[in-house]
Structure formats: C-alpha cells, structure tokens
Amino acid sequence: MNFIARQCVKVIKNEITNQTHVCGLGRTLSYKSAYSLDNLYPKSSLKLYTPDFAPEDPNVKFNGFIPMDQLQISYSRSSGPGGQNVNRVNTKVDLRFNVKNARWLNDELKPKLLEKYSTKISKDGDLIIKSDVTRSQQLNLADALEKLRTMIREVAKPPPQITEETEEKLRKRHLKAARERLITKRMRSDIKRSRQNSDSDF
C-alpha cells in the first residue's frame, strides 16, 4: 500500500512540474510589449520597497520629511484653459496646516515661518499653499509639497557669517555713498544759489 501511495504522489508531482513548465514556456513565447517593465528596466529586480531613512541628525532642523496625515489637503476645479478635464476633475490643490500645532516641525522654525510668510498665514494660524500649475491632481500635490519644503528649508538656513573683509568693504561702500550724496546736495544748492543771484540781477 505504501509503494502504491508513493507512486501516486510521484505521478502527481510530475504532472504539476510539466504543467508549470508549459505555463512558463507559454509566458516566455507570448507577446511582450516594448514598454513592459522588463524591457524598460532590464537590470532592475522590479521589487517594490520602501527606502530606509537615514538616522536623523540632531543638528538638522528639517530633513525634508512631511507627514501627509498631518496636512489638510483639499481639491477644487482649476481655472484657465484645459478643455473638458478642467470641468470634470478637481486638479487644484489647497494644502494647509497649523504652524504652531505642527509636531513634525522644529520649534525654532515655527516663528521664522510665521514671520517670513505672514501673507500666506490665515487668521487661525494655518499656512496655506495652493498649486494649479498642471492639469494633474497628483502633480499639483507634488508641486505644493515641494513649495512647502522650499519654504521650510529657506527659514532653516543659518544666518550668513560676515567676515572682517566683507565688513570693511561694506563700510567703504557706505562712506562712498555718503560722499556722493553730499556732493549731489552741494551741486543742487549751488544751482539754486546761482538761479537766485541771476534773478536778483534783473
């Protein structure tokens, strides 16, 4: 009985193996588009993965990461030309978040962000960023996020350090500008005085 069972299992395994080879051969001989991932990226393993973030440097105030769940994102219809796509799809992106309550943002950057971009801050303290540069919702969202990153990196820059040579150049420049202003004033006063003298002669 054991011998018969082993023979049956062997036959079933052979059948499964043959079917697998036939299916694989069929896929190999079947039509494959020139735009398939295998042709576009022949050296890639085509495996999806999430990149590992480098350990956060305590000296870096902003590493570029923006948590999407901490943002309020809304979509509306964009203005301007675009055909029926403008009337059907909400492509304009309205991105906002409360600066003071943003836990993912460094506390040192919050007042700088509120001061530098005060025109983009609402009464509730929300920073508002809009984008409708394209007719694609996802591209506009990416553009809005890139604008936000640029704004945060701008306020995260350390203040420029002025060297002694630069200070000396600035001092000489101010002195030169002051001398030129005095010369211009004297010339104008001389012109006025000459006009007054010419009028008194008549």
Cβ-count burial 39-64 (b if 16+ within 10 Å, e if not): eeeeeeeeeeeeeeeeeeeeeebeee
Q: Are strands 92-98 and 126-131 parallel, antiparallel or unpaired?
A: antiparallel
Domain 68-156 in CATH 3.50.50.60? The answer is: no
Residue with tokens 């996020």: 145
Domain assignments of the chain as residue spans, ordered by start? 68-156
> pLDDT per residue over 157-178, tens digit each?
887 788 888 888 889 999 999 9
178-197 pLDDT, tens per residue? 999 999 999 998 888 888 87
CA distance 144 to 131: 6
CB 121 within 8 A of CB 96: no
